[in-house]
Chains A and B, each alone.
Chain A
Amino acid sequence: MANLRQHTATLLLPTVFFGYAIYANSTMLFAPPADAKGGKINDLSLSYVIDGEATRDLDALYKSELPHRDPAVGVIGNARYALLNSGRKGVIVGDEGWFFTGEEFKRVKPADIDSAVAKIDEVRAKLAEAGVQLVMVPLPAKSDVYAEHLPEVMRSDAMQVAYSDFSTALKAKGMTVVDTREAMLAAKPFGELFLKSDTHWTPTGAKITAEAVQSTIQKSGISLPSATVTESWEAPVDIWGDLTTYITSPAYAPRVGLKQENIPIYRTAVNADAAGADLFGTETKVPVMLVGTSYSANENWSFVDFLRQSLTADVVNVAKEGLGPGVPMMDLLAGTALEDTQPDVVVWEFPIRYLGTSTLWERKGQSGGGGHHGGVGDSNV
């Protein structure tokens, strides 16, 4: 018996370790290669191998595709959330299922605001040369609008101050600025403006903002050609909030009481005749162009539709996900979309949490100007 115990003792760990290694490799060997993140491994050029690119891709493949990966993310994430009421770096867990992105908890320096405003003023001047008016739409931080759901130690006026300073500086340059924070705070009693488990706004928040844009444009005397619009509703979608993925994996989330967000989808179509299209549909002029981040780009939030509805005008959307507010504008100025579309107004949605980020105006790697779109286990820095 002692002998058997000794053999078991000696063999247990090597069996666990190397047994799993055999299983894991055989699983990966027979997995469809299309799913693998390291799909570039087919490239076997000399430089690809010598520079270590090939092995880095293989490392990425093993990091993402081993069979224990998803259970590990789920179980550890669930344990962390259940025991510590916490997520991975990048998410702040508030009360009653409210999560906040860590990007909103920084002190924006006056120099950050000054440099951003100077750059925006350059953009305004370039747009003005093309006969286009700029309407700035700074978006307040979720942690500012819903500060009461934050842990007490995390409450701060940093984002409120940043919003105020940014808006004031933009107005001081003579720009048209929409006060979305005031509009949201006023609308807060009538519905949730941000999703509890996601960085972004609800369609209600998007609608309130669109109405504030319309009101500001009207007050500033900018006239837009009017069109007739048709509203419609699509089936709501259920999504896992992007901040939930900083807690655990979706497959494991329900086990710690986390739920999907239910998003009603609104669509607004612009009547073709009223929009000014000619008989053959070659007219490309659209009066409003929307530039911005995933708040505008992601169709789930329906912001562009609410904007069409509020302005009763067609809007072309060139916002991009995962690049912050600066890069899409730089792309717009570098491309031909302005000439092709000839808008009267460019509406620039600009979440203030991006102020002070080093990648505000230039792409860095693939992730660009930040944005909270990392998948489970991806770096969320």
Chain B
Amino acid sequence: MVFSSETFLFLFLPLFLSAYYLTPERLRSWTILIGSYIFYCWWRADFLLLFIAVTAWAYGCGLLIDRWEGQARAKTTLVIGVIGCLIVLGIFKYLNFFMDSFAALIGTTPEELGYHWQLILPIGVSFYVFHAIGYIVDVYRKDTPATRSFVDFAAFMALFPHMIAGPVLRFRDLTDQFIKREHSLPIFTSGLYIFTIGLAKKVLIADTVAPIADQAFSMANPTAVESWLGAIAYMLQLYFDFSGYSDMAIGLALMMGFRFKQNFNTPYLSLSITEFWQRWHISLSTWLRDYLYIPLGGNRKGSARTYVNLFLVMLLGGLWHGAAWTYVIWGAWHGGWLAVERYTGWAKKAPPRLISLPFTLLLVLIGWVMFRAASVEGAFTVYGGMLGLNGIAPGIEFLANVTRENILFLVLAILAVCGEPYFKKLTDAEISAEAHGFEVTGNGIAVARPSLAYPIAMSLLLVVTVARLSEQSVSPFLYFQF
């Protein structure tokens, strides 16, 4: 089920929240668990068994590590636990990719090798495996005690706002909230505000600019205008799609009293790739830092090793997004620039904003083209188009498939990105939970304040968004494929 579906909005969510608030407080983890499993099964029910198995595996490993604390057996359990999770990811996400690549390397096909499993990628597997690994490592590091409550842990793993497409959460951040969290009408309403903003980002902006990207990336020889428009449209689509999803997740969690941290912080206003990764998908970059970069030695083993670690982490981060060479190259692109920025000192002291902002955006844009393309060859087709190798002006095929509405919303999306610093607090669970209106303070930041204007504006935004959602055919989330 996706948040931007009528079934979720008008059937699942009202029923779930009714059940949640009618359940006695001590049993609410059960309600979360059952509701989240129903949410998961909406796609197809059979992969729920895999999900439960990974949950049980991480839970059991946590208990054993806790029991054998300080003994070698704890480390062995840690290693086995993490490898077990990676095997799930390896089989379901990467096996086909590696076999295809191996077969291509030796000049044959998987069929000729006698292998061609067409495994279905279980939805959300990348995220819940990361949640499981994070928990096992945290217990080993004593960052969190192993929980005795399987229901709480399973409810954390399955918590539907973050289960399928993140943000990537750590049990240690929510463990106290599973024991006690605050519920009130103002908090609930704040959650609904944040959810509404996220839904509007996704439906009004991401979905409306998507056709521009779809058209440009499907063309055999896109012209310069087509390629640039397509790349910029995808850049904005991905951001509003995923940050919209994250806002919805934060809002939904808040409606249940959970407080998630922000996952995006005006990333397209970054002055370096390093800063970009501090602002884009913050929960993932934090996870990669804590569970990959630091175990690899981080920056503690000399300059050369630091560069290698940065590169490797992003390479694997790229591969985590999908089993394809496009993601590997995208990861390497970012890893390479992180290393370069570290080496040149750009990360700490970027050139003037007028230079560093567009340059960073250009690097990000080049990366997104590779990320979006169906193949490496397809990405280079778009790069060729961007360089003007296929002419400049858009052709009729492009113009026939890109409407004025698409272009208008592309412009609005750019304006929204530019104006975002003034509104970013509106989707901050910590601040928004305190009050429900907003006013612009002296330093130009919009903050929450009680007023009727804000709820009226939010209600109108919700009405327009729901109407637009109903009018369009489909509204899938980009991050569901990862």
A interface, CB within 8 angstroms of B: 5-6, 8-14, 16-18, 20-22, 24-25, 49-52, 55, 58-59, 62-63, 66, 68-69, 71-73, 75-77, 80, 84-89, 92, 102, 104-107, 153-154, 156, 158, 377-380
For the complex, give the distance between the alpha carbons of A106 and B193 in Å: 43
For the complex, give the distance between the alpha carbons of A20 and B14 in Å: 10
Chain B 454-472 interface 0/1 with A at a Cβ cutoff of 8 Å (1 = within): 1110110011001110111
Q: Are A106 and B45 neighbours in the complex by a CB distance under 8 Å? A: no
Q: Are A68 and B466 neighbours in the complex by a CB distance under 8 Å? A: yes
Q: Are B400 and A22 neighbours in the complex by a CB distance under 8 Å? A: no
A87-B403 CB under 8 A given contacts A13-B196, A73-B470, A105-B396: yes
**CB < 8 Å: which of A55, A85, A92, A154 contacts B42?**
A55
For the complex, give the distance between the alpha carbons of A11 and B470 in Å: 25
Residue of A nearest to B458 (CB): A13
What is the CB-to-nearest-CB distance from B145 to chain A, in angstroms, rounded to a whole number?
37
A9-B6 CB under 8 A given contacts A52-B44, A89-B211: no
**Interface 9-residue window, one of B147-155, B181-189, B347-355:** B181-189
A377-B473 CB under 8 A given contacts A10-B436, A24-B10: yes
Contacts of B45 in A (CB 8 A): 49-50, 52
Q: Tell yes or no: B9 within 8 A of A by CB.
A: yes
Residue of A nearest to B397 (CB): A106
Residue of B nearest to A65 (CB): B6
Q: Are B1 and A10 neighbours in the complex by a CB distance under 8 Å? A: no
What is the CB-to-nearest-CB distance from B461 to chain A, in angstroms, rounded to a whole number?
9
Closest 3 CB pairs between A and B? A105-B400, A72-B467, A52-B44
- Extra pairs beyond A14-B185, A17-B192 (7, CB < 8 Å): A9-B455, A13-B462, A14-B189, A21-B11, A62-B5, A63-B5, A158-B396
Chain B 180-208 interface 0/1 with A at a Cβ cutoff of 8 Å (1 = within): 00000110110011001000000000000
Q: Are B44 and A13 neighbours in the complex by a CB distance under 8 Å? A: no
Contacts of A89 in B (CB 8 A): 211, 401, 403
Q: Are A5 and B450 neighbours in the complex by a CB distance under 8 Å? A: yes
Q: Are B43 and A13 neighbours in the complex by a CB distance under 8 Å? A: no
Contacts of A86 in B (CB 8 A): 403-405
Q: Tell yes or no: B399 within 8 A of A by CB.
A: yes
What is the CB-to-nearest-CB distance from B351 to chain A, in angstroms, rounded to a whole number?
40
B interface, CB within 8 angstroms of A: 1, 5-7, 9-11, 13-14, 41-46, 185-186, 188-189, 192-193, 196, 211, 395-397, 399-401, 403-405, 408, 436-437, 450-452, 454-456, 458-459, 462-463, 466-468, 470-474
For the complex, give the distance between the alpha carbons of A20 and B401 in Å: 34
Contacts of A25 in B (CB 8 A): 10-11, 14
**CB < 8 Å: which of A13, A49, A55, A102 contacts B455?**
A13
Chain A at the B interface: SS class: helix
What is the CB-to-nearest-CB distance from A363 to chain B, in angstroms, rounded to a whole number?
20
22 A-B residue pairs with CB within 8 Å: A5-B450, A9-B437, A9-B451, A9-B454, A10-B185, A12-B452, A16-B462, A25-B10, A49-B45, A51-B44, A52-B41, A52-B44, A55-B7, A59-B5, A59-B6, A62-B10, A72-B466, A84-B403, A85-B404, A105-B396, A106-B397, A107-B397
A62-B6 CB under 8 A given contacts A5-B450, A92-B400: yes
For the complex, give the distance between the alpha carbons of A154 and B471 in Å: 26
Contacts of A77 in B (CB 8 A): 471
A72-B7 CB under 8 A given contacts A50-B45, A52-B44, A92-B400: no
What is the CB-to-nearest-CB distance from B106 to chain A, in angstroms, rounded to a whole number?
32
For the complex, give the distance between the alpha carbons of A12 and B193 in Å: 11
What is the CB-to-nearest-CB distance from B405 to chain A, in angstroms, rounded to a whole number?
6
For the complex, give the distance between the alpha carbons of A87 and B192 in Å: 32
For the complex, give the distance between the alpha carbons of A172 and B251 in Å: 66
Q: Are A105 and B399 neighbours in the complex by a CB distance under 8 Å? A: yes
Residue of B nearest to A15 (CB): B459
Q: Are A75 and B467 neighbours in the complex by a CB distance under 8 Å? A: yes
Q: Are A55 and B473 neighbours in the complex by a CB distance under 8 Å? A: no
Contacts of A8 in B (CB 8 A): 452, 455
Q: Are A76 and B399 neighbours in the complex by a CB distance under 8 Å? A: no
Residue of B nearest to A106 (CB): B397
Contacts of B436 in A (CB 8 A): 9-10
Contacts of A102 in B (CB 8 A): 400-401
What is the CB-to-nearest-CB distance from A24 to chain B, in angstroms, rounded to a whole number?
5
What is the CB-to-nearest-CB distance from A251 to chain B, in angstroms, rounded to a whole number?
14
Most chain B CB atoms below 10 A, which of A9, A20, A52, A154: A9
Contacts of A73 in B (CB 8 A): 470-471
Q: Are A72 and B470 neighbours in the complex by a CB distance under 8 Å? A: yes
For the complex, give the distance between the alpha carbons of A13 and B432 in Å: 14
Residue of A nearest to B393 (CB): A153
What is the CB-to-nearest-CB distance from A9 to chain B, in angstroms, rounded to a whole number?
5
**CB < 8 Å: which of B403, B408, B463 contacts A88?**
B403
Q: Are B186 and A10 neighbours in the complex by a CB distance under 8 Å? A: yes
For the complex, give the distance between the alpha carbons of A77 and B41 in Å: 35
Contacts of A156 in B (CB 8 A): 396
Q: Are A16 and B395 neighbours in the complex by a CB distance under 8 Å? A: no
Contacts of B395 in A (CB 8 A): 107
Q: Are B467 and A76 neighbours in the complex by a CB distance under 8 Å? A: yes
Residue of A nearest to B186 (CB): A10
For the complex, give the distance between the alpha carbons of A25 and B474 in Å: 21
Residue of A nearest to B460 (CB): A16
For the complex, give the distance between the alpha carbons of A25 and B14 in Å: 10
Contacts of B401 in A (CB 8 A): 89, 102, 105
Q: Are B452 and A5 neighbours in the complex by a CB distance under 8 Å? A: yes
For the complex, give the distance between the alpha carbons of A156 and B9 in Å: 44
Q: Are B471 and A84 neighbours in the complex by a CB distance under 8 Å? A: no
